[in-house]
Chains A and B, each alone.
Chain A
């Protein structure tokens, strides 16, 4: 499994791998929001946590179809399916690689973009905590959506229609943690829910995604 992870990371960071595109998209989204709602910092401050979470979520969504599509095109996915490691493991490793190359850079960039949106400094730890805990679930659910749509020619739009409703609980608990942290309440409850969702998704969704992949490789 480790060589597979190393291969995916290398492919993603090489030229044409699209590494950094998600962060650039995230930056553009955060830069466009003030044009949409006005530059007033009093208007930006309350919506900043939500915008940052939405931006991270959409940036993550953009790169999802890469998880399996390229491997499906050149046939290496068939080889992986017949490899001695279980397909569930392949899915988990690929989702991990997606998280390392997309989710983690988004988490690292979020505090910086928080400055652009006038996010109060006190909220930054909660922003980081909620994104670190929540983004693995986004990558894993995205891998499930990508596994379902891998055989389709125009799967991109369908992928977002399938995956975005699945992101609802993660988004709710993620922004709620920041909001509670800002208001001086206890963000522990939403963070625990978020952690529970992430842990359950990482543990169980690989089975669903592998089942979908098996159907698509039939």
Chain B
């Protein structure tokens, strides 16, 4: 019994079908719970009620980065071990990651307008998120441009590897280029920088909710891709001359 058994599409479909309802229920409960709990927290003494957008902003930003890491892992698994489910999962994850990046950018802009007095600033964090979005866009565009699914999986896998290096490089290059308005890490463990427990626990719940939301969407999208492949195979078999 190893994790590679789930590379078999039939086993993957069975296992993911069993997990999916729990993931959906957990995602709904934790996301709504986290945001609602966050809504009931007291106003920040300096930022007032605007601080409550943090319960959407931080989880979306966290997922935007981690989805790319997951795509990198899935691409490596595809390139090394040629498991189709892995390539399909990487493909399914990309649009979710792009939307998470957009949510982080949009909620950041909505938060930035009252706090910094501007919708957009060429701050290193903001800029690197915009660049990350461009990487997602290129990756998705390459998937949709190539017809042969195996070639598309190979080429997007290589692009994901090279893109990861350059996304990381850009992250530190923009740090060199401009000093920003954005705060440092949101969940620093250093004493004195640490977020008050009143905000921290709803934030943890909402982050868990976004993680489950990603899991649920990823499973749904991967299952759809597998079914589409099966359908294409069936049609190809039926219409064979």
Identify the A interface with B (CB < 8 A): 144, 148-149, 151-152, 155, 158, 161-162, 164-166, 168-169, 172-173, 176, 190, 193, 197, 205, 208, 211-212, 215-216, 218
Contacts and interface: CB of A to CB of B under 8 A. Distances in A.
B169 interface: yes
Given A172-B176, A212-B155, A166 B162 contact: yes
Contacts of B131: 165, 168
B154 A215 contact: yes
B177 A158 contact: no
Contact of B134 (A148, A149, A164, A208): A164
11 contacts: A151-B146, A152-B145, A166-B166, A168-B131, A168-B170, A168-B174, A169-B169, A172-B174, A176-B176, A215-B158, A218-B151
Contacts of A148: 142, 155, 158-159
B173 A169 contact: yes
Contacts of A164: 134
B170 A169 contact: yes
A169 B145 CA distance: 26
Given A148-B159, A173-B173, A161 B166 contact: no
Nearest to A173: B173
A165 B138 contact: yes
Given A152-B146, A165-B134, A208 B173 contact: no
A165 B141 CA distance: 14
Contacts of B177: 172, 176
B162 A144 contact: yes
**Which of B134, B135, B169 has the most chain A CB atoms inside 10 A of its CB?**
B169
B161 interface: yes
Q: Interface size for chain B: under 10, 10 to 19, 20 to 34, or 35 or more residues?
A: 20 to 34
B187 interface: no
Interface in B156-201: 158-159, 161-163, 166-167, 169-170, 173-174, 176-177
Which 7 A-B residue pairs are closest in the complex by CB-CB distance?
A169-B173, A215-B154, A165-B134, A172-B173, A168-B170, A162-B138, A169-B169
Contact of B169 (A155, A176, A197, A205): A197
Q: Main SS of the interface on chain A? A: helix
A134 B159 CA distance: 21
Q: Main SS of the interface on chain B? A: helix
Given A168-B166, A190-B176, A162 B142 contact: yes
A208 B158 contact: yes
A164 B163 CA distance: 11
A144 to B, nearest CB: 7
Contacts of B137: 161
B29 to A, nearest CB: 37
Contacts of B162: 144, 166, 205, 208
Given A158-B141, A205-B162, A216-B155, 5 more contacts: A148-B158, A158-B142, A169-B173, A172-B170, A197-B169
Contact of A165 (B135, B158, B176): B135
Contacts of A205: 162
A172 B177 CA distance: 7
Contacts of A208: 158, 161-162
A10 to B, nearest CB: 30
Interface in B117-156: 131, 134-135, 137-138, 141-142, 145-146, 151, 154-155
Contacts of A216: 151, 155
Contact of B151 (A155, A162, A215): A215
**Which of B141, B161, B173 has the most chain A CB atoms inside 10 A of its CB?**
B173
B145 A165 contact: no
A168 B168 CA distance: 11
